[in-house]
Amino acid sequence: NLIYNNYFNNTNNAYDDGTNTWNISKTTGRNIVGGPYLGGNYWSDYSGVDTNGDKLGDTSLPYNSSGNIVNGGDFLPLIINNPPVTPYAPSPSNGSTGVSITTDISWQCYDPDGDDVTYDVYFGTTNPPPKVSANQTSKTYDPGTLSYSKTYYWRIVAWDETGLKTVGPLWHFTTQSKPTPTGGAPSPNNPPVADADGPYYGSVGEEIQFDASGSYDPDGDELIYIWEFGDGTTGTGVAPVHTYDSAGVYTVRLSVSDGSMSDISYTTVTISSGGYIPPQPYDSDGDGYPDEMEESYGTDETDPSSYPEDTDGDGIPDEDSPDGKYTGDTDDDNDGLTDDMEEMLGTDPENETDFAEVTIETTTDYLVDTDGDGVYDTFYDPNTNTKTSLTQDEEGNYLIDADGDGNIDYTYNPISGAISPYTEEQPSGGAWPVTAIVVIGAIIVIAAIAFFYKKRHP
């Protein structure tokens, strides 16, 4: 008889009558107390040690029974596996306020059995927060630049190497208020930086988790995230989940905005037709361009200095491949303006263009510096294909003719990034005509009185 995977928890542990073996060979498999190997049995009063962490005791257990354990005992006794302790010592401390917008979060945790521990990090401005990192070994996490005066929630889930987990408590902290300028001109509003991460891979019907956590705002402003998934649908948030109905390679667009200025980042997602997720294409020379792509473009896949022309270095060549297998980049310089749009505006599609993306009545428009002198000179509305010249007032605000009728409709403040309806100011001397009329009227009245007085008293 082979006796294994039993739980003995009484004084008279067993009756051994005949030839019995109290264990089997060490075999991979989940045992009755959660360990990763099958071997012997669990004995509630076992006091041996497990030096190699396999959840099997290294000290044999030759218990006597009423019939004696005739074959020497259980040499592979099972040991209960304990999960990691509850994560503790959060930093920033729970409930703290005035936290720096560049803070990292950290915690403490360990496994009582000495198992290696990995962590899932949940972090965000919603309760419960979304998962932002999985299976990391470090007990710190960098969330990037945070927003001012915002409450963040976070939680750590600790896993041991056998799959047992401990869910930590929900912690929160609030970031510092935005500093107020001490004097002089107001601090300029800096645009955010978008990062769509990727490339991503998956299959039809599978949930793809996108990640924009690498995006940030230099001023710490709260960001708005808008995704275009390339299949005609959109999403919002830092880490949205999306599924695709058809196989193919999709170009994904991420736009992040701080309310007045924005930035754009592109990535790709490859969707296969079955459950198989294709590995990343093989790249012999490690230059960032797959061998198959280099073959289509006629470059040397074994030479890292030979690769397709790619102005912005985003991994998408500028032009279509000669064999038609690959579609070229629609934004060669990756400045957020498509090549077609830049050619229409007269800017160079292979040189990053200085522009501001603005929102006027829910539509996205552009102020563009077409000659590279640091001053915006053209307004463009891609929705109506309207292109007009820009001028500036004495305070440096840009005056916008949004509909091309020759009249100023809006002003744009380049410091704050604010768009406002245009109102024509009265001249500084505008009150003078009224005053003049009053004075002249008074003079006429006085002159009339004097005239009649002299007439009656010659």
Mean per-residue pLDDT over the chain, rounded:
81
Using the predicted structure, report yes or no on whether residue 307 has a pLDDT greater than 80: yes
Last residue of a domain, one of 175, 190, 224: 175
Instruction: Convert the pLDDT of each residue in 48-88 to its tens digit.
Output: 777 777 888 877 665 555 556 666 678 888 888 788 999 99
Q: What is the pLDDT of residue 10?
A: 59
Within-domain flag for 255? no
Last residue of a domain, one of 156, 175, 194: 175
Alpha-carbon span 458 to 455, nearest angstrom: 6
For the residues 299-317, what does the mean pLDDT come to? Answer: 82
Give the closest residue to 214 by CA, choosing from 198, 228, 233, 190.
198
Q: Which of the pair, 371 or 203, is modelled with greater confidence?
A: 203
One domain, residues 413 and 365: yes
One domain, residues 409 and 363: yes
Instruction: Convert the pLDDT of each residue in 213-231 to its tens digit.
Output: 888 888 888 889 999 999 9
Using the predicted structure, report yes or no on whether residue 430 has a pLDDT greater than 70: no
Last residue of a domain, one of 123, 150, 175: 175
For the residues 241-264, what does the mean pLDDT come to? Answer: 88
Instruction: Convert the pLDDT of each residue in 12-53 to its tens digit.
Output: 566 666 677 778 888 988 888 878 889 888 887 777 777 777
Percent of the chain whose predicted confidence (pLDDT) is above 90: 20
Please count the structural domains in the chain. 4
The token pair that represents 421 in the structure block: 């309806």
One domain, residues 149 and 164: yes
For the residues 110-118, what does the mean pLDDT come to? Answer: 87
Q: What is the pLDDT of residue 70?
A: 62
426 confidence band (pLDDT: 50, 70, 90)? very low
Using the predicted structure, report yes or no on whether residue 431 has a pLDDT greater than 50: no
One domain, residues 61 and 25: yes
Q: Which domain holds residue 455?
A: 433-458
Q: Which of the pair, 337 or 158, is modelled with greater confidence?
A: 158
Using the predicted structure, report yes or no on whether residue 278 has a pLDDT greater than 60: no
Q: What is the pLDDT of residue 456?
A: 61
Q: Name the burial class of residue 431, with classes exposed (0-12), middle (13-18) and buried (19+) by CB atoms within 10 angstroms of its CB.
A: exposed
Instruction: Convert the pLDDT of each residue in 354-413 to its tens digit.
Output: 777 888 877 788 888 887 777 888 998 887 888 899 999 888 899 999 888 989 999 998
103 confidence band (pLDDT: 50, 70, 90)? very high
Sign of the C-alpha dihedral computed for residues 386, 389, 392 and 393 taken in this order: negative
One domain, residues 147 and 98: yes
One domain, residues 75 and 92: no
